[in-house]
A = this chain, B = another copy of it.
């Protein structure tokens, strides 16, 4: 009896540790399954470190391991067809590479957008161009919400400015309160009303299979960002301007406002139109080739 009462504390101690550990693992499984709905919680233990490298939680399934060559995954059952893109002479190739650089180098982020109308067909074409981006396992995990309706644009502005004001006033430390005085801008974003179109780009973090199961869209953030790159190039090519913005904390509100499903998350908001006649941009420069390219 005395023996037992002596050991009781030890038993209790072991019991507690066991309980806490179960609790921890349960919590982990819970949170990880939110991030990668299509994968069993058990897999979270064998995450390849690459996820931390790419810092994209949509890739944390080991199933993703063969996905790194994007063209293969998901297309293994498709027949292959010959591919013969246009071929240019060396002179043409060089010339085209120079012209394209010249075109893109004229692009600037512009916050002063003219209200003058832009043909809807042009917007449709630039979005079609953006939709040609590669994506992990060819999931095409993007939704481009084009807002032309003045009332909806204003609601978006209200949501964004409200959050921005909170960002400025509450989420900043003393350092920011100081730096803010030097900022040319504040939380007022007039272009959200004036731009003829607002393009809100949502990433689909997972898809729904015919059987109703969730299917994680690997590399969805990288894929959609690449698509945004094509969109920016397409806009520049037709003389339209935008400013790349990622509204903080507005995602859920804007998703609800635009009636997007829960698997879609706002990645970027692009106001699109012609530049205002008096548009200005900060007089900044870009890095030299030697600063961005290393030749081996």
Known: A172-B62, A237-B100. A287 touches B131 (CB 8 A): yes
A65 to B276 alpha-carbon distance, docked (Å):
27
Indicate if the CB atoms of B80 and A148 lie closer than 8 Å: no
Residue A68 contacts which of B16, B94, B245 (CB distance < 8 angstroms)?
B245
A281 to B75 alpha-carbon distance, docked (Å):
10
- Give the interface size class of chain A: 35 or more
Question: Which chain B residues lie closer than 8 Å to A143 at the CB level?
Answer: 292-294
Query: How many of these chains are in the complex?
Result: 2
Q: Interface readout for A117-129 with B: 1 if CB under 8 Å, 0 if not? A: 0111110111111
Question: Which chain B residues lie closer than 8 Å to A162 at the CB level?
Answer: none
Residue A244 contacts which of B20, B70, B142 (CB distance < 8 angstroms)?
B70
Indicate if the CB atoms of A80 and B282 lie closer than 8 Å: yes
Q: Interface readout for A43-62 with B: 1 if CB under 8 Å, 0 if not? A: 00010111011111110001
Known: A101-B129, A244-B70. A292 touches B12 (CB 8 A): no
Question: Which chain B residues lie closer than 8 Å to A226 at the CB level?
Answer: 225-226, 228-229, 232, 244
Q: Is A87 an interface residue (CB 8 A)?
A: yes
Question: Which chain B residues lie closer than 8 Å to A11 at the CB level?
Answer: 9
